[in-house]
Amino acid sequence: MSTKGTTSIPPQTFVECGICKGNANISWFCKNCPASLCSKCATSHRTTKQYKSHTIVERTYTVLRLFGPAKIAEQCEVHPEKDISSYCNECDVPCCISCLVNSHQRHEISTIEDKYLDAEKRLNDYARQLDNDVRPTLDKMEDQAKDDGKEKNKSTEKVINDINEFRIDFIQKFNMACDNLITEVKQKSSENTEGLGEIETSKTNIESIKKEIEEKIERGKLDIIQYKPPKLQSLIPTQIGVLTFEPTMKVLEVIKESVGEIKFKDIERENMDKSKIGSVHVQTLQFFCSKIGATSMTTTGNNTVWVMEFSRPLMYLYNDKGKVVRSLTVENSKGINGMTITQSGEMIVSCGDNKVRRVSVKGKIQVSTLIDAAPFGCYGVCVAEKQEIIVCMIDQKGRNHVAVYSPDGRSKLREIRGRDVHGKDLFTYPYRVVQNGYDLCVVNYDRNVVCVDERNNVKWVYDGKQAKLDLPLKSRDICVDKYNNLLVTDNNNHCVHYIDREGGLIQVILTKEQTGLLFHWGICVDDNTGYVWVGRGDKHVVIAKYLE
């Protein structure tokens, strides 16, 4: 039986009349009493002078919901002797008849029944949205979280395996070094013992020579004159070294040497199938115009990317359909020069006023200054595995370098100059920086990419000559994909140089013929989707897929 609308309820055995207590033909309802009525009592109720003002209606599901045992009508707070009968939409309060006359004339008024039905409909719609929209979204998020958890577990297992391999390698080399040390100690000890033996022999020879001299004296003058004793120097052993070996200090040296011999393992997220190299296939998925130039882009890992234009304080968050999700302005910054996102989802931005700021976009936007780098200009910025903040620094005197700060930005831990074997600084204009394993890869604006290792030694320099293109490389931006390979935008040749972690060219990709894009500038990769975002200074952005 339907419970909607004004469907009448037929008489029921278990419903009795509120007046005569009978249960025959209970088809009416008095809103004022309130009570269910049989036909006879309903007629009497209408004609009795005492109840003439009461409202008798057909007994329906709607009426019962409104005026039955769980009735919505209550006494008015202003006039307790009267029931609430209406609702003022302008004042958003329930009213009795006196309230309407005294306080709510000419206001928009609804009956309490209509207001109840509207609220009931709204809540039912809300409940349906919970089931149809919210719950499926949560289910999808739960499935994604489980999948992400599996991937993270794989990564965790790999890290643990790398650590165990390192431990085994270290222990083997350390044990070998300690064995060599023990051999050296025994050898030193043996040399000392041999020296003591030679001393004893010399002492014995001395006693023998003294005895021989005494015998010569007793024999006569001629024997003494003709006797030639051995030279004194010959009686002193050449090996009389004393054991001066210091085992404790030597052990420390061995530990240091052992650690130095072990090449630190980069924790790779995934090993690339070498068969894919040279067969990269580009598929353009989306082409759109952003509201600002796309000179730098940073992925959130959630199918969205922050797009910024050099020296402007405004950023936009786009989804993979090219639609704006959110915008953000860093006030009093003189523009944003670089940006990265931390593991907690906060943004670290380098600004045109020589400051690096932390921007929280969770809830109300909060901006705080982390680093005041004056007089150096701040450009590219990234966050290292240890949460250290790495910033490209440039000043007018040519003291260009990459600075490493503590996670809270309070202390400058070290400066990286990128010097070659001749001591020459290779950071001519450090514009962008990314961490790749334990290496830092720095883009010199419009020139090349310089890679330094964890000991700040230059590992390689990529200048684009391997690609054999018509024009010199004009490097603008860089990112790292899930295989720890690098993508570098070339503003001169309208393409991206896809290079491996050792600085070798894999392939030139995302060319103007493949994407329709010219003057490549900003770039980022979303590892979750495998999409690469490439932008240029005049607001054009391409989303593409470059690996199967």
- Per the CB < 8 A criterion, the answer to whether 8 and 58 are in contact is yes
Q: Is the pLDDT of residue 518 over 60?
A: yes
pLDDT in tens, 23-43: 878 888 887 777 788 988 888
Task: Determine the Cα–Cα distance for residues 152 and 366; give it in Å rounded to an integer.
Answer: 30
Task: Determine the Cα–Cα distance for residues 264 and 287; give it in Å rounded to an integer.
Answer: 42
Q: b/e string for 220-249 if b means 16 or more Cβ within 10 A?
A: eeeeeeeeeeeeeeeeebeeeeeeeeeeee
Q: What local confidence, expressed as pLDDT, does residue 9 receive? A: 45
pLDDT in tens, 531-547: 999 999 888 999 998 87
Q: What local confidence, expressed as pLDDT, does residue 164 receive? A: 82
Task: Determine the Cα–Cα distance for residues 458 and 418; give it in Å rounded to an integer.
Answer: 6
pLDDT in tens, 166-220: 788 778 777 777 777 777 777 766 766 666 777 777 778 777 877 777 777 777 6
Angle between helices 135-219 and 247-261 (to 10 degrees): 140
53 token code pair: 């003002």
Show Cβ contacts of residue 25 under 8 Å, excluding neighbours closer than 6 positions: 11, 38, 39, 40
Show Cβ contacts of residue 185 under 8 Å, excluding neighbours closer than 6 positions: 245, 247
- From 352, 187, 167, select the one nearest 258 (Cα to Cα): 167
Q: Is the pLDDT of residue 356 over 90?
A: yes
- Whole-prediction pTM: 0.53
Q: What local confidence, expressed as pLDDT, does residue 80 receive? A: 82
122 token code pair: 């709204």
Q: What local confidence, expressed as pLDDT, does residue 77 receive? A: 84
Q: What local confidence, expressed as pLDDT, does residue 10 receive? A: 42
Q: Is the pLDDT of residue 84 over 50?
A: yes
372 token code pair: 């005041």
Tell me the percentage of the chain whose pLDDT exceeds 90: 36
525 token code pair: 């990769």
Please compute the mean of the pLDDT values over residues 456-464 and round it to a whole number.
93
Asked whether the CA dihedral 26, 31, 32, 34 is positive or negative, the reply is: positive
Confidence of residue 241 (pLDDT cuts 50, 70, 90): very low
pLDDT in tens, 291-302: 999 999 999 887
Q: Is the pLDDT of residue 277 over 70?
A: no
Q: What local confidence, expressed as pLDDT, does residue 85 receive? A: 80
pLDDT in tens, 359-376: 988 777 889 999 999 999
Confidence of residue 251 (pLDDT cuts 50, 70, 90): low
Please compute the mean of the pLDDT values over residues 398-421 and round it to a whole number.
89
Please compute the mean of the pLDDT values over residues 311-325 and round it to a whole number.
92
- From 487, 494, 502, select the one nearest 547 (Cα to Cα): 487
Average pLDDT, the chain: 81
For 524, phi and psi rounded to 5 degrees?
-155, 160
Task: Determine the Cα–Cα distance for residues 31 and 24; give it in Å rounded to an integer.
Answer: 20
481 token code pair: 């994909």
In this predicted structure, which of 258-272, 334-348, 415-429 has the lowest mean pLDDT?
258-272
Q: Which residues pair with 185 in a beta bridge?
A: none
Task: Determine the Cα–Cα distance for residues 32 and 49; give it in Å rounded to an integer.
Answer: 15
More confident residue, 504 or 240: 504
Q: What local confidence, expressed as pLDDT, does residue 67 receive? A: 57
